[in-house]
Amino acid sequence: MRDMTFLTCGECGQSYFGPAGVRRRRRCALCGGPLRRDAPARPPPPLPAEPPPILRAAPGSFPDDPRRYASLVDFALADLRRVHSRERDLGLTWRDADRVHRAAFVVDTRELYLVQLGPVERGGGHVELLGRLPADLDLVATFRGWAENCGLEDSLRWLRARAERALAW
């Protein structure tokens, strides 16, 4: 068995691993906190030391709209505050017919977005910006019940309805 290096973020506790001798990360990919060498301390399973490639949806595989981006990289680069901001996860399996989406909230810009999962030729990897949450609205209260609805058949309709009532442009 190969020797493995384990790292843990000193701020959020996220764990990372990789073969010993691999280029060492200095900052957490999730929160930017400092990493320390460590044994994996807690679930969930550690992330690989090197992230997987970012998916870019194939041209024409998603609607052409100014609020849609071919990839997370394109989305982040359109407003650099997104690059360094913390995010709040709002579920990994929002279902819409035969597609599945991940939803997240960008703290610094107060934006809610979706990333379509799946093959790039069917739109996988593309990002849809749903809108901005007004500063006086509470994310938790606005989307109360998301964990119970996420993953259900046609659950994306529930999320879109809540977002439409709460989000501003």
Give the separation between CA 81 and CA 108, rounded to whole angstroms.
Answer: 7
In this predicted structure, what is the pLDDT of residue 1?
A: 41
Q: Hey, what are 45's tokens?
A: 């399973």
Q: Tell me the whole-structure pTM to 2 decimals.
A: 0.69
> What confidence tens digit (pLDDT) does each residue in 130-149 have?
999 998 888 889 999 999 99
pLDDT averaged per 10 residues in sequence order, the chain, 169 residues: 68 71 64 72 61 84 95 94 93 92 95 94 95 89 92 94 81
